[in-house]
Amino acid sequence: MSEVLLEIGIILLFAKLFGAVTDRMKLSSIVGEVIAGIFVGSLFHFRPSHFLELISGLGILILVFLIGLETRFDEIKRDIYKGSILAILGSLLTFAGGLLIGEFVFGSLNAGIVVGMAMISTSTAIPIKALIDRGEIRTPAGRIIVVISVADDIIAILALSVMASYFSAGNIVIWNVIILFLIMLGFIFFTLTAGTKVVERIISFVGYHIKDEQALMTAPIAVALATAALSQRLDLAAVTGAFIAGMIMSKGVFTKSIIIPKLQVAGLGLFIPVFFAYSGMLMDLSSLGFARFFGYDSRDQAIIAISMVPRGEYGIVISQLALAMGIITGSVYTILISFVVVTIIITPMLFSAADSVFGKRRRIEWKI
């Protein structure tokens, strides 16, 4: 246990140091934190462990929870249809690209199916965190990117179900996929309606009767973790549940004044940097456009396209399942995981490149 604690201390130190350096270079701190993970893993020969994975998992949950706390459903609901269409189109193109890679690079159609499905889902946290750092999350592009991220999670879960059914039973049961889709939509709808009222009462009771600021941080975290757990039990990602939990608390009386500032201290001080550094440690270096139809200007088109570059945690889940089922080899698995990490690193850089081409937009302050 002492060795693990020392590892976390070293990882955290380098993650914050490298993050500060890239932040001064006008790049997102994410870049530095991921590079720190690669550096620490290579220099100190640290290897991913179950405990580090747990800390990292808490980091991503806290990050998306913070994002949800600043996202109001009534601000993004008008973009649901546009965002869903963009997510579907992006997923279809990605899957087609994966099939081609599997056939011509790995010489296997089954490997192509895995690659395509693993790369379908974009990351929820990476592009949104980068947009928050740039003060662009409340722009039209920022709002639709939030919708695309949630839609991507739903598509990825359906893809995971289809892949598991195809490779285990040899066929696809469409009815089971439809039922899963309806369950996920029901969960989201129930959480955003009835769940909002229940959570408001809990937070109000803590704020007005218990009158303890520490409890005002504990209660929301407990709700977020419970919602994330329920989300995962329904085969929807835990990060989706945490994001929705934050969104239902976004209008709360104590959210901006107490909950967010206190949560930022714990998140940015420990868990979130460890998450991004851990993503870098997963890399083994030895194994290595439709937005214009919806009226967005050239700059917003570029921002939306860049936000769909980083792959999500579902890519790791699908890759792990395929490896366990013997569909892909260990080397293919390493390439897939490394690709996920590379997309995480280059996304903030691409955002900076977009600034050089299209110019910076006036910041709408909202710093996490």
Q: Is the pLDDT of residue 157 over 60?
A: yes
Q: Is the pLDDT of residue 300 over 90?
A: no
Kindly state the DSSP code that residue 293 receives in the 8-state scheme. Answer: G
Largest distance between two CA atoms of the chain: 65
Q: Is the pLDDT of residue 105 over 60?
A: yes
Kindly report which listed range (31-35, 164-168, 192-196) carries the lowest average pLDDT score: 164-168
pLDDT of residue 333: 76
Q: Is the pLDDT of residue 293 over 60?
A: no
Q: How confident is the model at residue 290 (pLDDT cuts 50, 70, 90)?
A: low
Buried b (16+ CB within 10 A) or exposed e, 44-57: eebeeeeebeebbb
Count CB neighbours of 5 within 10 A: 10
Residue whose C-alpha is closest to residue 343's, from 111, 7, 4, 34: 34
pLDDT of residue 160: 67
Task: Provide the whole-model pTM.
Answer: 0.68
The two three-digit tokens of residue 276, written as one number: 């991004």
For residues 18-39, average pLDDT = 81
Q: What is the phi/psi pair of residue 122, to 5°?
A: -85, 160
Kindly report which listed range (234-238, 345-349, 362-366) carries the lowest average pLDDT score: 362-366
Kindly report which listed range (89-93, 194-198, 218-222, 315-319) carries the lowest average pLDDT score: 315-319
User: Averaging pLDDT over each range in 95-104, 125-134, 350-359, which range is the top one?
Assistant: 95-104
User: Is residue 31 within 8 Å of 348, Cβ to Cβ?
Assistant: yes
Question: Quick one: what percent of the chain has pLDDT higher than 70?
Answer: 80
Q: Where are the alpha helices (DSSP H) in the chain?
A: 2-24, 29-43, 50-69, 73-76, 80-104, 109-118, 125-134, 140-169, 174-205, 215-233, 238-248, 260-266, 272-281, 298-307, 313-324, 330-358
Q: Between 105 and 348, whose confidence is greater?
A: 105
Q: What is the separation of C-alpha 49 from the centre of its chain, rounded to a whole number of angstroms? A: 21
**311 beta partners:** 122
- In whole angstroms, what is the distance from residue 340 CA to residue 291 CA? 23
Cβ neighbours for 34, distance < 8 A, ≥ 6 positions apart: 276, 277, 279, 280, 341, 344, 345
- In whole angstroms, what is the distance from residue 258 CA to residue 254 CA? 5
Cβ neighbours for 149, distance < 8 A, ≥ 6 positions apart: 122, 123, 124, 127, 128
- In whole angstroms, what is the distance from residue 152 CA to residue 124 CA? 9
The two three-digit tokens of residue 80, written as one number: 């649901």
**122 beta partners:** 311
> Would you call 305 exposed, middle or buried from its count of C-beta atoms within 10 A (0-12, 13-18, 19+)?
middle
Q: Between 218 and 107, whose confidence is greater?
A: 218
Count CB neighbours of 8 within 10 A: 19
Q: What is the separation of C-alpha 9 from the centre of its chain, rounded to a whole number of angstroms? A: 24
Q: Is the pLDDT of residue 218 over 80?
A: yes
Q: How many residues does the chain have?
A: 368
How distant, in Å, are the alpha carbons of 50, 90, 100 from that of 94?
Answer: 31, 6, 10
Q: Where are the domains of the chain?
A: 56-251+288-358
pLDDT of residue 206: 85
Residue whose C-alpha is closest to residue 6's, from 38, 35, 49: 49
Count CB neighbours of 320 within 10 A: 14
- In whole angstroms, what is the distance from residue 336 CA to residue 251 CA? 39
The two three-digit tokens of residue 352, written as one number: 């900076």
CATH classification for the domain delimited by 56-251+288-358, as one of 1.20.1530.20, 1.10.1040.10, 1.10.287.130, 2.130.10.10: 1.20.1530.20
